[in-house]
Amino acid sequence: MPLLRSLRNLGKRPIHQDWPGLIEAYRAWLPVSSSTPVISLREGGTPLIPAPSIAAQIGRGVRVFLKYDGLNPTGSFKDRGMTMAISKAKEAGSEAVICASTGNTSAAAAAYARRGGMRAFVLIPDGYVAQGKLAQALLYGAEVIAIKGNFDRALAIVQDVANQYPITLVNSVNPYRLQGQKTAAFEVVDALGDAPDWLCIPVGNAGNITAYWMGFGEYRQAGRSRKLPRMMGFQAAGSAPLVLGQTVEQPDTIATAIRIGNPVNKDNALRVEAESNGGFMAVTDSEIIAAYKLLGNHEGVFCEPASAASVAGLLKRKDEVPSNATVVCVLTGNGLKDPSTAIENNDARFHTGLDADTATVAKVMGF
Ligand SMILES: *Cc1c(COP(=O)(O)O)cnc(C)c1O
């Protein structure tokens, strides 16, 4: 039995090493102490997946990787920030949290708050939250308040409520969110052995781009990487305040997670752009959908439309990528969050209503 023998020869070290969650993994880099109650669903530790089809569209020896943060416990990178925000809220004795959300923040807030034994209130723009995200908030036990107004309005209201009542705000104005989210940059450097040359990322409220830059900076400072990436941020054309240089009153895009007209972290975002010699650019909904389909069709990766903005942006700027560069595109959320966009936007052959016999099936297969 050679197979069994070779398995035994691997010795006692387990093949699968359990991931302890990002607070335990990066404890020394985070504002937690031994008395912080860690509320964790073992978030973080997400894969960096090579994207050869996208790299082939660029050529010139460029390597492209996808940081697939859709594999977090609630299906988006928001879990990285929420494990920190909720653990610190618990440490401070908070009994309830509130957030405004385009969907993913509410799903993450609900899951972590309930796990920590707290109430979770979420304000969402009525009719503009993808179905999977709403399902999550409800199932996790959030108290969902849908308002006739967009995200920017919802945020103003939750800020008022948190100022007036004893409740912790867990939007990305909460500094612990960015602390948790910066660990994604640590993971990228840990996986590649250095920072990438370009980091392509979708930008809504600009918390994530701010957090990545913080993470890359801290690792560089500590000598864990030799360089810093250019931070390439992409907004949807219908809601691109950072590209236009002004607030967008009526943001509109198929990418609901980045449908934001007045980014909370606007000043941080502009600082990151300047410090990293990066650049913001808008991508249209049709460019987003093309990248979304390409990721599914050719890379086997199902992300949500907002996430595909990073790849749409990379392809739009492909002639500027230096030869032999390493590029990481952040895929912020899981495609299963928004099934209706996938069903309405694909090039699949979908044969329906056929008779249940082999000959009919073989015929539509082309035999
Ligand atoms: C929240 C979110 C974004 C935008 O992140 P910001 O930190 O607001 O810039 C992008 N994609 C997805 C899937 C999100 O949930």
Q: What is the DSSP letter of 235?
A: E
Nearest CA to ligand 1 atom 14: 257
Name residue 337's beta-bridge partners: none
d(C-alpha 355, C-alpha 68), whole Å: 40
Residues 51, 330 contacting (CB under 8 angstroms): no
Neighbouring C-beta atoms of residue 238, cutoff 10 Å: 18
Q: What are the tokens at 21?
A: 């969650």
Distance of CA 78 to the CA centre of its chain: 6
Cβ–ligand 1 distance for 197 under 6 Å, the answer no
CB atoms < 10 A from the CB of 3, how many?
7
What is the per-residue pLDDT across 178-229, written as a single tens digit (0 to 9) for each?
999 999 999 999 999 999 999 999 999 999 999 999 999 999 999 999 999 9
Which neighbouring-strand residues pair with 119? 96
Our separate counts of H helices and E strands in the chain read 16, 10
Pocket of ligand 1 contains residue 110 by CB under 6 Å: no
* Ligand 1 pocket, residue 171 CB under 6 Å: no
The predicted model scores a pTM of: 0.95
Instruction: Report the alpha-carbon distance of residue 128 to residue 146 in Å, rounded.
Output: 10
Give the largest Cα separation in the chain, rounded. Answer: 70
Q: What SS3 class is residue 258?
A: helix
Per-residue CA distances from 244 to 240, 253, 283 (Å):
6, 15, 12
207 lines ligand 1 (CB under 6 A): yes
Distance 197 CA to ligand 1 centre (A): 22
Separation of alpha carbons 95 and 79, rounded Å: 19
Q: Is 104 in the pocket of ligand 1 (CB under 6 A)?
A: yes
Q: Walk along the chain (367 residues) and give the pLDDT tens digit of each residue.
A: 555 555 566 567 888 889 999 999 999 999 999 999 999 999 999 999 999 999 999 999 999 999 999 999 999 999 999 999 999 999 999 999 999 998 999 999 999 999 999 999 999 989 888 899 999 999 999 999 999 998 889 999 999 999 999 999 999 889 999 999 999 999 999 999 999 999 999 999 999 999 999 999 999 999 999 999 999 999 999 999 999 999 999 999 999 999 999 999 999 999 999 999 999 999 999 999 999 999 999 999 999 999 999 999 999 999 999 999 999 999 999 999 999 999 999 999 999 999 999 999 999 999 9
Question: Which pLDDT score is estimated for 347?
Answer: 92
- Distance separating alpha carbons of residues 262 and 265, to the nearest angstrom: 9
User: pLDDT of 98-111, one tens digit each?
Assistant: 999 989 999 999 99
Number of neighbouring beta carbons within 10 Å of residue 44: 28
Cβ(253)–Cβ(237) under 8 Å? yes
Q: Is the CB of 208 under 6 A from ligand 1?
A: yes
SS3 letters for 65-95? EEEEHHHCCCCECHHHHHHHHHHHHHHCCCC
Q: Candidates 71, 205, 292, 329: which one to mutate for ligand 1, based on the most atoms within 8 Å of Cβ?
A: 205
CA 126/CA 256 separation, integer angstroms: 12
Identify the pLDDT of residue 22. Answer: 98
The answer to whether 170 and 96 have CB atoms below 8 angstroms apart is no
Q: How far is it, in rounded angstroms, from Cα 138 to Cα 124?
A: 12
Q: Which atom of ligand 1 is nearest to the CA of 210?
A: 7
Distance 202 CA to ligand 1 centre (A): 7
Query: CB count, 10 Å around CB of 364?
Result: 10
256 in contact with ligand 1, CB cutoff 6 A: no
Give 161's Cβ-side CA count (13 Å radius). Answer: 20
Token pair of 195 as six digits: 């920072």
Scanning the chain, the segments in alpha helix (DSSP H) are 2-9, 22-25, 52-58, 78-91, 104-115, 131-140, 151-164, 175-181, 183-192, 207-221, 241-244, 266-275, 285-294, 305-316, 339-344, 358-365
Give the other-Cβ count within 10 Å of 148's Cβ: 8
CA neighbor of 212 nearest in space, from 224, 199, 225, 222: 199
For residue 333, the ligand 1 atom closest to its alpha carbon is 13
| Contact 231 CB / ligand 1 (< 6 Å) | no
Say yes or no: CB of residue 55 within 6 Å of ligand 1: no
What's the CA-to-centroid distance between 203 and ligand 1, angstroms?
6
Q: Classify 146 as helix, strand or coil.
A: strand
DSSP-assigned letter for residue 334: B
Angle 172-161-258 (CA atoms, 0-180°, nearest 5)? Answer: 35
Q: How far is CA 26 from the centre of its chain?
A: 19
